[in-house]
Amino acid sequence: MVLRETIEEYLFGDRPTSELSSQAFDVKTSNFGEKITYSPKVFIPLTTLCQDSCAYCTFVKSPKEGGTYLNYEEVDAIASVGVSAGCYEALFTLGDKPELKWDFALEQLNTFGFSSTHEYLIENMKKIHNKHNIFPHANPGLMSRDEIINYKRFSPSGGLMLESYSPKLLEKGKAHYKAKTKQIELRLETLDNAQEVKYPMTTGLLIGITETKDELIEDIFRLIETCNKNSAVQEIILQNFRAKQNTLMRNNAEVINDLFLRIIATVRIFLHGHISLQVPPNLLPEVEIYLTSGINDLGGISPKTIDWVNPDHLWPDIENLKNLTIKSGQSLIKRLPVYPKFINNEWLSPRVLEKVSNVIDKDGYPKI
């Protein structure tokens, strides 16, 4: 348990945060150079229905609250707007298999001619892939091996946040009490499925939903252990919890600045060098202090759609981000929803690889 003890020392020891950040920045620079990336995207909220009910979520709606599915015409309209705005990512955000909980969800799927959310998502991804010069990336929740095989046909990558490793969050009154898909064993199984199928994945933690120091240490230790062993992980998101009104966790404390900087630095230092490390810039009160903390990516930023998961937090202005990045001695550049290391016929289907190859330069980033 030497690594776990070292992580505890990095997170809560006496070493100044500035020294940790400097070390992490050096590791970042040696692996990613003097660039910070982001993915220009549009949010496509395919359905706000879900079988889970997390205590911090405002995205999910019950049928009585207006939970529903977008039809294809609505999906296509959002994708078209994204293409016109120069976006490369069509982010399909949706609840996890809501038809397992809501008869209304299955009824609505049936009116579209489908029997599952998975089938409907695949059809929309296929149409967007075939029609538009934009790349589908989906966060559909738990994914079986066969489901991932289907996603890989039309998408260069997918996502599933681990959120936390703590089983206590599933207890009554905790964040995931009404969210059975948040069992860590099930989520790790999805990452294993992605590794078997060779489908690049984004994963990560929601920092601040656990309650104890030991839980946080365990989360960071196991995240590093998991991702260093799983070759499908292309990117880790460290998302700082932000309290939302009208949720059970509206009064919970938020993790920002010093502790969050130490978490970022620790993960970067012990994570394999090729794995990207991201923080969401719209959730950070002072994004500039994070640019030299060890991160190399600022995630998806949309010029046209809101952050449907965190609607109270507006996207940062890109020109301002560029200026802040320059002041930090780096440059801000666009990327695709798949990182250059994974742009090959091992990780991408032939049709996706061909489409990706048409828009990238020799380094694997968009030509324009």
Q: What tens digit of pLDDT does each residue of 52-78 get?
A: 999 999 999 999 999 999 999 999 999
Q: Any idea which residue has 């050096």 for tokens?
A: 26
List the domain range (segments joined by +) for residue 308. 2-336
- pLDDT of residue 255 exceeding 90, the answer is no
Rounded to 10°, the helix 350-357/145-154 angle is: 40
CA distances from 139 to 90, 290, 300, 353 (A): 11, 25, 13, 20
| Alpha helix segments (H runs only) across 169-212 | 184-197
Stretch (H or E) spanning 138: strand 135-139
Is the residue at 132 inside a domain?
Answer: yes
pLDDT tier for residue 5 given thresholds of 50, 70 and 90 = very high
DSSP tally for the chain: helices H, then strands E: 11, 9
CB 18 within 8 A of CB 29: no
Structural domain count, the chain = 1
Residue type, 196: E
| Alpha-carbon dihedral sign for residues 9, 14, 19, 25 | positive
Is the residue at 319 inside a domain?
Answer: yes
CB 93 within 8 A of CB 43: yes
pLDDT tier for residue 194 given thresholds of 50, 70 and 90 = very high
Task: Quick: pLDDT tens for 281-301.
Answer: 999 988 999 999 999 999 999
Is the residue at 362 inside a domain?
Answer: no
Task: Quick: pLDDT tens for 222-231.
Answer: 999 999 999 9
Is the residue at 95 inside a domain?
Answer: yes
CB 43 within 8 A of CB 306: yes
Cα–Cα distance for residue pair 302/319, rounded to 1 Å: 13
Return mean pLDDT, the chain: 96
Cα–Cα distance for residue pair 47/57, rounded to 1 Å: 14
What CATH number did the domain enclosing 146 receive?
A: 3.20.20.70
- pLDDT of residue 368 exceeding 80, the answer is no
- pLDDT of residue 276 exceeding 80, the answer is yes
Is the residue at 198 inside a domain?
Answer: yes
Which pLDDT value is given to residue 22? Answer: 97
